Structure 1
């Protein structure tokens, strides 16, 4: 039964992947004629249209910039907060952690109107800076939740030995906590990159200028009210997914180490 379940799950992954990747090399007529088949007359016209005529490379630069700024800032603030949660006395630690856990409990849709109004008044709407800021605010509770769970497993003797040697809180964090927490930081960064890269909701809400669109927002251009250019849409999905696939291929060792860190005590 386990093999059957794994086989069904594999088909659920492979079939859409074959349709999307294969469809990116087909014309619209070929795609509708044989959606599940391999391209018999492969063409690169879709990629030329998407990358050149649709300016997807410029949009790709916007997404890279947003992720490159949002993820390090979120990791820095999240690791500092998680360090405080791990080192504070019992009740202050619980209160601080509870505040950020509350950020996970409140749905994003419930606070979107106040966020929109506030960012509009501050002049941060329709700007990449505002998008970076909202990304940090929204995903900071996730980073704190993951990192605090790991840092709480660090032995107190590790901090006490550093303090005896004369290290202050910042030195302990920089020289001990960060190197020891590297697997957890790597895993958290992968989660954050995926969340920021694939986010459509906030760019759709905050960005009106076509020159400041991110990749998920640009993919909506291929879907019209009465007609959807599926080959172009599939090509855009392939281009948008390729950086994530490459990042995971190079960082999967750190990802596995991060999600298993602290699972077994020495």
Structure 2
């Protein structure tokens, strides 16, 4: 009984720590700066969308489009390369497959910050700085090891009889990958897609390092412009945060069934 009460108390405190700031942010998007500081916890007097129109009509609207393009391209390319690599590692028999798999996921042990200077020099020499293509490529490079790790864990649980039966039916490696492995791996792919989407959508460090043109900024970088040295328009900032968070919530709602299934995919051998 005491354990149940203690657990509920901890969960109640945890929920309050999440709900209270979220309420202030959402209510603040419909207020002026004076109203926000006067009564931050009270509901807005009127539901006006002026702050949302201001952020979307300004630099944040362009940044939103840039983030959508960069994030979707990064997620799609990362999933394609990671699924192919994980499938190849699962098909290679014996210790060789494990060595190749270990080499691919070795990048997870290297901090991204340790590679930023050589990456900057390389991208500069290739003419990829200050470009959306450069952001897509660096996103893929940074997150490919973890995507291979997640998808490889699932694909290694698929029985080899599946591959043998496919070969007997005349299907080659590419047909097996496309028609058998990927449909079975969709829960794991969906979970990986959500994970990658959150990382790429919220990425700030590489856009801050690689992007210099205002029209090519992504949302996290554009949100920095809402903070002044001496004064910050918090209603506009809160509106920008809500707009930036909406796609993540939408993606999770649409894929939550696959995400829950993908979290346990590969945990138990079939």
How high is the TM-score relative to the length of structure 1?
0.95
- For residue 263 of structure 1, the aligned residue among 246, 261, 267 is 267
Using the alignment, how far apart are the partners of 1:237 and 1:142 within structure 2? 27
Give, in angstroms, the shift of residue 7 of structure 1: 1.0
- State the match for 1:187 in structure 2: 191
C-alpha separation between the residues in 2 aligned to 1:112 and 1:45?
39
Q: Note if 1:146 corresponds to 2:150.
A: yes
In the TM superposition, what whole-angstrom CA distance separates every residue of 1:165-211 from its partner, at most 9, and x where no partner exists? 22221111111111111111111111111111111111111000001
* 2:34 counterpart (7, 24, 29): 29
Alpha-carbon shift at residue 215 of structure 1 (Å) = 0.7
SS at match of 1:129: helix
- Residue 43 (structure 1) shift: 3.5
Number of residue-to-residue matches in the alignment: 265
2: CA distance between counterparts of 1:179 and 1:42? 45
C-alpha distance after superposition, 1:33-72 (max 9, x if no partner): 12222223444321122112x2322211111111121111
Q: 2:11 — aligned with what?
A: 6
Q: Tell me how large the CA RMSD over aligned residues is.
A: 1.4
1:114 match: 118
Moved more, 145-154 or 92-101: 92-101
Question: What corresponds to 2:140 in structure 1?
Answer: 136
C-alpha separation in 2, matches of 1:100 and 1:19? 44
Q: TM-score, normalised by structure 2?
A: 0.94
Q: Any stretches of 5+ residues in structure 2 without a counterpart?
A: 1-5
Comparing 128-137 with 224-233, greater Cα deviation is found at: 224-233
CA distance in 1, matches of 2:263, 2:112: 25
Q: Structure 1 regions of 5+ residues with no counterpart?
A: none
2:159 maps to 155
User: What is the CA–CA distance in structure 2 between the aligned matches of 1:93 and 1:70, rounded to whole Å?
Assistant: 26
Separation (CA, whole Å) in 1 of partners of 2:9 and 2:140: 41
Match of 2:3 in 1: none
